[in-house]
Structure 1
Amino acid sequence: MPPRQDDDDRESTESYETRLVLRCQRGDREAFNELVERYQSKVYNLALRLLGDPDEALDVAQEAFLRVFRGINRFHGGSALTTWIYRIVHNLCLDEMKKKRRRPQLAADPTDTDEGGDSLLDRLPDETDEPQSQMLTDERQRAVRAAIARLKPHHRDVLVLYDLEGFSYNEMAEMLNTSVGTIKSRLNRARLALARELEEDRELFR
């Protein structure tokens, strides 16, 4: 799981984001290009983890930045810029899932993370470099990916946002328009649901 920011890092990030937003709101195209470069991998990875399809994730990422561009003048700093952008991505992914009326396919490579952060799959027990051990690790990762893909969207959401993206409870509550208590409860239920989904593969985790 990506490490959560300490207070100094958070203040530095917020200060940078504030300046970047102001530049974008003044019509600075270079600033918007900078915004896209800074967040494009995070936006794409979130869409990929929620949808599981690389092409759909790319479409969502592109649409998300279009909406950011069109709506940047309405952003007044009530939340972190990242939270605002991720809320746009999350809502677009929900729309896509409703439109398709299907559960997501497995992501092409859900072990990918940006800026060196660990994914949920990285937290599986370490193995040696022996081929047999590597095969077991690969089987475990496939089992976890398949189990996550079978979860209900509201369970998958909180696992992805908390365990993979490293958002805090407060950030998730704001993004999903609910309370911190609901987020904690939903995350607990999501982990129980994931454990149930992995029950048939329990031999892999002994």
Structure 2
Amino acid sequence: MSERSDADLLAAHVAGDADAFGELVHRHQSRLWAVAVRTLGDREEAADALQDALVSAFRRAGSYRGEAAVTTWLHRIVVNACLDRVRRRAARPAVPLPEQEPADHRDAHASTETALDVRAALATLPEHQRMALVLVDMHGLPVSEAAAVLGVAEGTVKSRCARGRAALLPLLAPGGNRSAGSDVPGMDPPAETKEAAVPTEGERA
């Protein structure tokens, strides 16, 4: 197993090392895949978006300047590839059903329904709020890293997350029996919603 850092691998790729980029991708592919799947909610689209992102990263490796971690740079490219696909289907957001779901597996069915509810609710959010929630609450990125990926201030990420959680709450708990925090893995209840009353700089789109 190579002990080279991510930056070393990227630099080696730019210098002509035929194996370096593949090693870098192998090291981080699972996290990048998770971001794509949770953002798009469709495995086929996520696979296409990830492929587009990796091709872009392969070709643009020479533009990396070391101003952010290589993982942050890669996440940003994946997020942008996903956003391109989100914009394309914005007029007709779809929630895919699982290909196989045994009718007698009630617990599994209930879990699937919950996941579909969450995906449908996320699809109603403004793009910038959705991406912040996916990165921070569903993928577990630190606010600082999510801010670097999205190219905004940390306060903006916090505000977007708070507003997104507040918007999800009535959608996921129409009868008062659910909370957005309980339905979305890793998502806490919107305790800090009040702090987001005033938009931060960059909270426009």
**TM-score for the superposition, normalised by structure 2:** 0.71
The CA deviation string for residues 78-120 of structure 1, in whole angstroms up to 9 with x for no partner, is: 10111111111111222222233335433677xxxxxxxxxxx
Q: Compare the two structures and name the one with the higher helix fraction.
A: 1
Cα distance 1:201–1:77, how it changes in 2: closer, same or farther (>3 A)?
farther
Of 143, 154, 157, 1:180 maps to: 154
Would the alpha carbon gap of residues 103 and 83 (structure 1) be closer, same or farther in structure 2, given more than 3 Å must change? Answer: farther
- Residue ranges of structure 2 left out of the alignment (5+ in a row): 99-104, 183-205
2:67 aligns with 78
Give 2:10's aligned amino acid: V
Aligned to 1:16: 5
* Letter paired with 1:68: A
Q: Contact between 1:140 and 1:204, CA under 8 Å: does it hold in 2? A: no
Structure 1 pair 174–103 and aligned structure 2 pair: CA distance change class (3 A) = farther
Counterpart CA distance in 1 for 2:49 and 2:106 is 38
Q: Tell me if 1:64 matches 2:69.
A: no
Conserved 8 A contact 1:149-1:156: yes
In structure 2, relative to structure 1, the CA distance for the partners of 1:134 and 1:30 (3 Å cut) is closer
Distance 1:52 1:135 in 2: 17
1:153 aligns with 2:127: yes
CA distance in 2, matches of 1:173, 1:45: 18
Equivalent residue for 1:203? 177
In the other structure, the counterpart of 2:20 is 31
Aligned residue in 2 for 1:118: none
CA distance in 1, matches of 2:118, 2:36: 18
Whole-angstrom distance in 2 between the partners of 1:89 and 1:77: 18
1:44-55 mapped onto 2 (5 Å cutoff):
44-55=33-44
Q: Is the 8 A contact 2:121 2:172 kept in 1?
A: yes
- 1:42 matched to 2:16? The reply is no
Distance 2:18 2:145 in 1: 28
Alpha-carbon distance between aligned partners in 1 of 2:39 and 2:92, rounded to the nearest angstrom:
10
User: Scaled by the length of structure 1, what TM-score is found?
Assistant: 0.71
Cα drift, residue 200 of structure 1 = 1.6
1:162 to 111, 125, 136: 136
Within the candidate set 73, 84, 94, 2:83 is matched to 94
Structure 1: give runs of 5+ residues left out of the alignment: 1-14, 110-130
Q: Return the structure number with greater relative CO, CA threshold 8 A, min gap 6.
A: 1
Which amino acid is the alignment partner of residue 29 of structure 2? Answer: Q
Q: Does 1:192 align with 2:200?
A: no
User: Contact conserved, 1:169 with 1:183, CA < 8 A, in 2?
Assistant: yes
> For the residues of structure 1 that align with 2:108 and 2:87, how far apart are their CA atoms?
37
Contact 1:53 1:108 in 2 (8 A): no
**Matched position secondary structure for 1:56:** helix
Residue 128 (structure 1) aligns with: none
How far did residue 133 of structure 1 move?
Answer: 6.1
